[in-house]
Structure 1
Amino acid sequence: MGNEAFNVASAGFALKKLEVPGTVGGVCLPLSGVRVIDFSQVVLGPVCTQMLGDFGAEVIKIEKELIGDLTRWSLGNDPEGGQNPIFSALNRNKKSVCADLKDPISREQVKSLIETADVVVTNFRPGVMERLGLGYEDLSIRNSRLIFAEATGYGPLGPFRHKGGQDILAQALSGLMARKPAPDAEISIYPTAICDYTAGMHLVQGILLALLHREKTGVGQKVSVDLYSSMVALQLQEATLQMMRGRDLNWATFPLTGVFQTKDTPIVVVGAFKEFPLRDICKALELEDLSLNPRFATFETQMAHREEIQGTLRRRFVDMTSREWLARLEAVDILCAPILTLPEALESEQMASTGMRMKLLRSDGSLLETIGTPVRLSDVPEIATKLPPRLGEHTDELLR
């Protein structure tokens, strides 16, 4: 079986193997026949190319000899030869080729491989690929249909163009990190790689658009994405309000939105998107209708007296359990939810229903557990499911 993997579905479904390259379960994958040469590492590029691989693209990952992608060794060495959880989360459905890009012979082998490719993906700093003779201008001469997808920290212009791109730095420079749920809250780092994932998905969009454009014109082009711009785009509503009206928009500070401690565990309530949310919340909590008070009658006056309103709600929420309050709030159609930890979310019925938990069967019979793709196509019921490659696993097959 080698390094092939199966997608272990929920009870009642048999294990299925890729029957023909570019198909799964006998169904043609939409990106079958598309070859991607992937120079990227860490998160932004790999999460993009993994999505392409999920839907049938042949992704050939170019890695540095002996070391490979830095995420092979994230959080310390790993007895599985670099297939630790961080690397495994981002690199299924890929082939691994080791190459020394500073060596002329090895670099020429890689260039020959690129001549057969549809897409090149890189997330080196601006200028690195050009210095190696692997920039878009050089490669497009040899392959006019090539789509060159480049991800950087801050784009090709501006004072930060040569600064190393990194998720947390992009949070800081884009204004995202300074946004707080309350004025007295401390500025903090968002604990998930939100910039890398968002920019990675933007890179997927750009590549797919370029592939569609090539179908019409017959020629490739350069696609550029950067962490900074992706984070600005993430704040498009807030930024537009700031530019047009000079006002701040912070969904976490809305008067009827917040985290409330109940008798046992906290819940989150979003008192919005209704005509009279305060009235309905008071009904669920068996409180006097505060919306009848002129001081709380409009959104503007509720904002002005937010602390008073929330104080009243907080004192009431501790009287009953989260389960009881959630049932009461949902009965009057108020948006609310329990606050789950990641382990709790992974074990929830909702998680099971989505099929997002993916189990890949290794050749030794053990399981690699990871997260699947959130994109679902009605005529493509399954995605490709090959294990993340061992470092240099496909070097001989593809180069030598």
Structure 2
Amino acid sequence: MTLPLDGVRVLDFTQVEMGPVCTQTLGDFGADVIKVERADVGDIARGKPIPVEGENPIFLSLNRNKRGLALDIKQVAAKAIIYQLVDRADVLVHNFRPDVMTKLGLGYEELRHRNPRLIYAHGSGFGPTGPYRHKGGQDVLGQAMSGMMMTNAPRGGAPVKANNPISDFTAGMLLVQAILLGLLAREKTGRGQEVYTSLLDGMIASQLQEATYWLNTGREFNWGHFPLGGPYPTSDGYIAMIGAFRPYPLRDLCSVLGLEDLSEDPRFSTTERSIEHGQELKALIGEAFRKQTSAEWLRLLEEIDFLCSPVYTLAEALEDPQVRHNQMVVEFDHPQGRVRAVGSPVKLSETPATVRHPPPLLGEHNDEILAELGYPPEQIVDLRAAGVIR
């Protein structure tokens, strides 16, 4: 089967999450991704401290469909290998601070002269120019400086951090978009270009409704303050529901909960008043929900097509029949055993994502990649003996 990115060569200098989730996505759809790592320890994610034996699941989650090249990039012979790969590459991706690759002689200005068709992609904490260009970035900083933590906070409450790295994932997927746009533009112009995003920009963009409301009214808008939405405790757990896409949501909800029509109460007669008196309304709704089980409330809400769902743990979500039907759990063989991982959320009817290679062991494909560049076996042996490659 021909995949959308067959024939696209990607040189991947990324590590941890933002960059690797980008390059894994490219690999899922056919790109030949060469993951370049330090010969001694490799990607930082290989060594994150978690209580398991064997290859780190954090690394396994982000690096399938890649070939592994491990070398000491500070050695002249290693740099020569990198330059040969750059000359053949369509895309180079990194997520270092903006000056790191330049110091290594691998910045955009240096490489675009070697390969004018190169799409040079990078992600950082705050962007490659501007007052924070040299500042190190990490997911928690992206959430904090974008206002996202305060958007997630209760009114007047302390900031709330999402425990999964949402700014890393968002920026990584935006970087995929930037690379694909760069490749499309190259088809028209014949030239490559520099493309980039940042943790900060991704998190600002993810709040585009709230931000645009503030920019044009000077007032705060927050979906989290809408009382007819969000999780509510039941007698045996939690459910989520939202009174959207219906003309009289509060009246309809009250009919299910067995409450008098609270929309006739002056405190809750309009959306604005419901938000103003949100804590009072939430208390009344919450008290009613606690009287029955989640399953019973879901049945009653679904009978009137009121949007609702159970609140799962991640373990429960991974076993849900819709999640399995959507192929969001995939399995593949790895040198250290069978691996289960998260599948691609992007579905194409004719050219779907595939798992062709497991995440590489450190330097697993050194010999294969060097042979493709024309290095004879005896020279590869010498490079390994000299510590140029692993």
TM-score (norm 1): 0.89
Equivalent residue, structure 2, for 1:392? 363
- The runs of 4+ residues in structure 1 deviating greater than 6 Å are none
2:91 equivalent in structure 1: 119
The letter for the 1-side match of 2:294 is: S
Match of 1:43 among 17, 23, 30: 17
- The answer to whether residue 42 in structure 2 is matched with residue 71 in structure 1 is no
Structure 1 residues 325 and 79 mapped into 2: Cα distance closer, same or farther (>3 Å)?
closer
Change in 2 beyond 3 A, CA 1:315/1:102 = same
| Structure 1 segments unaligned to the other structure (5+ residues) | 1-26
SS in structure 2 at match of 1:115: helix
- Contact kept? 1:181, 1:250, Cα under 8 Å: no
| Aligned counterparts of 1:381 and 1:150: Cα–Cα separation in 2 | 26
Tell me, yes or no, if the aligned pair for 2:21 and 2:62 is still in contact at 8 Å: yes
* 1:79 CA drift (Å): 4.4
Aligned to 2:317: 345
Q: What secondary structure is seen at the aligned counterpart in 2 of 1:61? A: strand
Among 50, 58, 61, the residue aligned to 1:86: 58
Query: Equivalent residue of 2:78, what SS?
Result: helix
Q: Which stretch of structure 1 is more off in the superposition, 176-185 or 108-117?
A: 176-185
Q: Secondary structure at the match of 1:164?
A: coil
Q: Deviations over 1:236-279 (max 9, x none)?
A: 11111111101112111102223222121111221223210001
In structure 2, the residue matched to 1:274 is 246
Name the residue aligned to 2:227. 255
- Cα displacement (A) at 1:390: 0.6
1:222 maps to: 194
1:146-295 mapped onto 2 (5 Å cutoff) = 146-295=118-267
Is residue 357 from structure 1 mapped to residue 325 from structure 2 by the alignment?
Answer: no
Q: Paired residue for 2:344? A: 373
Match of 1:287, as an amino acid? L
Contact in 2 for aligned 1:154/1:226 (Cα 8 Å) = yes
Structure 2 unaligned runs (5+)? 371-379, 381-390
**What SS does structure 1 have at the residue aligned with 2:180?**
helix
- 2: CA distance, partners of 1:306 / 1:251: 12
Contact 1:123 1:151 in 2 (8 A): yes
Question: Within 2, Cα distance between the matches of 1:227 and 1:382?
Answer: 26
Q: Which shows bigger deviation, 318-327 or 28-37?
A: 318-327
Structure 1 contact 56–384 (Cα < 8 Å) conserved: no
CA distance in 2, matches of 1:274, 1:347: 31
CA distance in 2 between partners of 1:349 and 1:213 (Å): 40
Q: How does 1:51-62 map to 2 (within 5 A)?
A: 51-62=25-36
Alpha-carbon deviation of 1:343?
0.7
1:333 aligns with 2:297: no
Once the two structures are TM-superposed, the CA of residue 327 in structure 1 deviates from its matched residue by: 1.0
Residue aligned with 1:28, SS = coil
User: Shift of residue 295 of structure 1?
Assistant: 3.1
> Residues of 2 paired with 1:47 and 1:337: CA distance?
28
User: TM-score, normalization: structure 2?
Assistant: 0.92
CA drift of 1:78 comes to: 6.2
Q: Quote the Cα distance in structure 2 between the aligned partners of 1:67 and 1:198.
A: 27
Asked if the contact 2:234–2:289 (Cα under 8 Å) also holds between the matched residues in 1, the reply is: yes
Structure 1 partner of 2:284 = 312
Q: What SS is found at the alignment partner of 1:63? A: strand
* Number of matched pairs: 371
